[in-house]
Structure 1
Amino acid sequence: MTLADARPEQTVTEQFSPATATIAIVTFNRSGLLSRLLESIERMDPKPGHVVIVDNASTDDTGDVVESFRERLGTQLVYRRMDTNTGGSGGFSEGMRVAYDLGSTWIWLMDDDVEVIPDGLAKMGKWAPRFRSIQGRRYDYDGSEFYWQYRIAEPLAIPIPFAPASFDASGFKEMNSGCFEGMFIHRDIVTEIGLPDPRFFIYWDDQMYGWLASRVTTSVIVDEFVLRRTREIRQWDMGIRHMNASSNAYRYYIMRNRAHIKRYYRSLGVYSPLLFGLGTALTFGKELIRLFFVERTVRGTSHLFRGLRDGRKIANDASWAPMPPLSAAAGR
């Protein structure tokens, strides 16, 4: 039986208790943004049982900022400072591990450049008895509705850019992706699919994790605004959609990490060389468009090619294996 065969259409779990939830935050050298997020958690009602902060070896005053909130946050704060910068992927993997080890029933993942709507946890908890992998909505920096590509074209392993943005009377839409800027996930799913893969470092890690979750449960995005982005990002306004500026590091990992996705697809028997290759070509083309029209430069293409080159090493690595289920890890 495959994971897809075991996937229930809908799951009813226990009633939601805010104290069983943990907010897991990943931060790196952005103490000002982190402070704003923690101030929003201070105003939350209800509050989660724990707040876990994973600090990716920041060199600013992040540690002091965290300690300044310990007594005033109104919930238990756990601070985990990494020895090195493990990227967003490593940070979220560690944050989820800490939250899981705390016994959390629900884990709410966040970057440091958002703030929580005061009743955000109550809004997410409203859906918790029904679903086990939930994504709320976000306001953008300017207060507009932030659109997130909640579905992927599975054979291509790329987001579907024009999936409908509106909701019907049900208040939710089924998704097969994920975003660590607000993913709300039940520990049973984490047990089954394991921790997020830290090898991605940045990019595609949350899409992959959300896709894995959608294979074992009904994953949804709900019509509830629960977060607000607090950092402005340069964008190209295409009318109905926007394309954000990027960086050379992102360009490299966008292409390199296609190889990790390929390995997961192969391990689950869903890999089509032709269609996946088309998805990689479309991704490359999108990054060229981002360079030319958002950042208005031709410099940076070398990082795309370097990512493809290093991805071939991952694709041919005989020691590569997917992240194990936590149930399997516990049994060893």
Structure 2
Amino acid sequence: MNEKNKKVCAVVVTYNRKELLCRNIKSLLKQTYPVDILIYDNASTDGTEDELNNGGYLAMPNIIYVKGKYNGGGATGFSNGEKLAYDKGYDYVWLMDDDGFCVNDYTLENLMLVQSKLDNAIVNSYVMGNIKDKEPTFDLGPYKTYGEILNNSVDGIVTGYGNPYNGTLVPRECFEAVGFTDRRFFIYGDETDFYYRTIAAGYTWMTSLESEYYHPINRSVFLERSFLGLKIDVKDQPVWKHYLENRNGTYIKKKYLGIHVGLRHIVRILLTSILSKDKRAKRIYYGLLGLYDGNKEYFDRQIMFNA
């Protein structure tokens, strides 16, 4: 398979992170493999469009800027961005958030080198939160440290795992097979749902350690709580996010992972709600409501965004 002439579009979803977005764009413009950039703006209110215009980005022929009429969350941003890139005929869509960036000029070229040897594969950059030590931002399947990841790689590739949507290279044929990101998720779990749909369609996920991508590790959102002598990390987040995480997580676990995982998920919902630092009763209620809605595959509840 010859990938040299394949057209790639980086889809970057953004909302009120204009400085971080520009940092990402600068890293994309330096890539040795040619890439167009489609910025999907979820109706930012921080002057993102003016920032891009003042920086000269909107005048560049390889940058496409689309501003949504409302904030539909990351799920809508990726869904719309994927479809736009697909309709424009790109061979690959490279998915990423606004707060990440390519560690060097060869991030995409190294991805394409791996992709050129494969069929029915989705290749992910190696996502790190500490560039010097190559500390992973997220677990890569069962592997939690760079040492574990490296030891379980072959020729710089870890097979079977990836970190969507952080430097994720998706062939256009994959969208034909599974569709686009499910915008109903709003935030949380949309990338996991897409991952399982691609697996069911016969795609193999791989991570290239030679393709380095940065995404920050968000340690500040977790609070450590104790329960029966056990230390448990509880997310410090608004109640509406607590609801969405539980609704979407319940849906995914029921649909893809089976009842035993679902039961553990129920216990986790209860514990993280009970151990919250504030609004405990409301968190318990909406945690259980998320469990109910996810089990019923009900995505239309709007009240939570005011909670």
- State the TM-score, normalizing by the size of structure 1: 0.73
* Match of residue 172 from structure 2: 187
Distance 1:27 1:299 in 2: 30
263, 278, 292: which one aligns with 2:263:
278
Deviations 1:108-128 (A, max 9, x none): 111010111311110110111
Q: Structure 1 residues 131-140 or 195-204, which shifts more?
A: 131-140
* Match of residue 187 from structure 2: 202
Distance 1:147 1:319 in 2: 29
Distance 2:295 2:43 in 1: 30
Provide the identity percentage: 22
Query: Cα gap change, 1:277/1:46 in structure 2, threshold over 3 Å: closer, same or farther?
Result: closer
* Match of residue 15 from structure 2: 28
Matched, 1:308 2:288: yes
* Match of residue 138 from structure 1: 127
* Match of residue 199 from structure 2: 214
* Match of residue 230 from structure 2: none
Distance 1:24 1:37 in 2: 11
Residue pair 2:39, 2:64 contacting (<8 A) in 1 also:
yes
Matched, 1:37 2:24: yes
Residue pair 2:124, 2:169 contacting (<8 A) in 1 also:
yes
Deviations 1:143-182 (A, max 9, x none): 442242333xxxxxxxx57594233333222225641122
Query: How do 1:48-127 residues align onto structure 2 when only pairs under 5 Å count?
Result: 48=35, 50-67=36-53, 68-70=55-57, 76-117=62-103, 118-127=105-114
Distance 1:82 1:69 in 2: 21
Letter in 2 for 1:32: E
* Match of residue 241 from structure 2: 250
Query: Cα gap change, 1:91/1:71 in structure 2, threshold over 3 Å: closer, same or farther?
Result: closer
Q: Which has the higher contact order (CA 8 A, sep 6+)?
A: 1
Question: Would you say how many aligned residue pairs link Structure 1 and Structure 2?
Answer: 283
Distance 1:43 1:108 in 2: 15
Once the two structures are TM-superposed, the CA of residue 140 in structure 1 deviates from its matched residue by 1.1
Letter in 1 for 2:173: D
Distance 1:205 1:106 in 2: 19
128, 141, 149: which one aligns with 1:165:
149
Distance 1:287 1:114 in 2: 28
Residue pair 2:251, 2:297 contacting (<8 A) in 1 also:
no
Matched, 1:15 2:2: yes
Gaps of at least 5 residues in structure 2 are 225-232, 301-307
Gaps of at least 5 residues in structure 1 are 1-13, 152-159, 321-332
3-state SS, counterpart of residue 51 of structure 1? strand
3-state SS, counterpart of residue 127 of structure 1? helix
Q: Structure 1 residues 122-131 or 249-258, which shifts more?
A: 249-258
115, 124, 133: which one aligns with 1:128:
115
Once the two structures are TM-superposed, the CA of residue 72 in structure 1 deviates from its matched residue by 7.0
Once the two structures are TM-superposed, the CA of residue 51 in structure 1 deviates from its matched residue by 0.7
Residue pair 1:262, 1:315 contacting (<8 A) in 2 also:
no
Letter in 1 for 2:286: R
3-state SS, counterpart of residue 52 of structure 2? helix
Once the two structures are TM-superposed, the CA of residue 142 in structure 1 deviates from its matched residue by 6.2
Distance 1:177 1:120 in 2: 15
Letter in 2 for 1:316: K
Query: Cα gap change, 1:250/1:224 in structure 2, threshold over 3 Å: closer, same or farther?
Result: farther
Query: Cα gap change, 1:246/1:40 in structure 2, threshold over 3 Å: closer, same or farther?
Result: farther
Q: Structure 1 residues 133-142 or 87-96, which shifts more?
A: 133-142
Please tell me the root mean square deviation across aligned C-alpha atoms, in Å.
Answer: 3.3
- State the TM-score, normalizing by the size of structure 2: 0.79
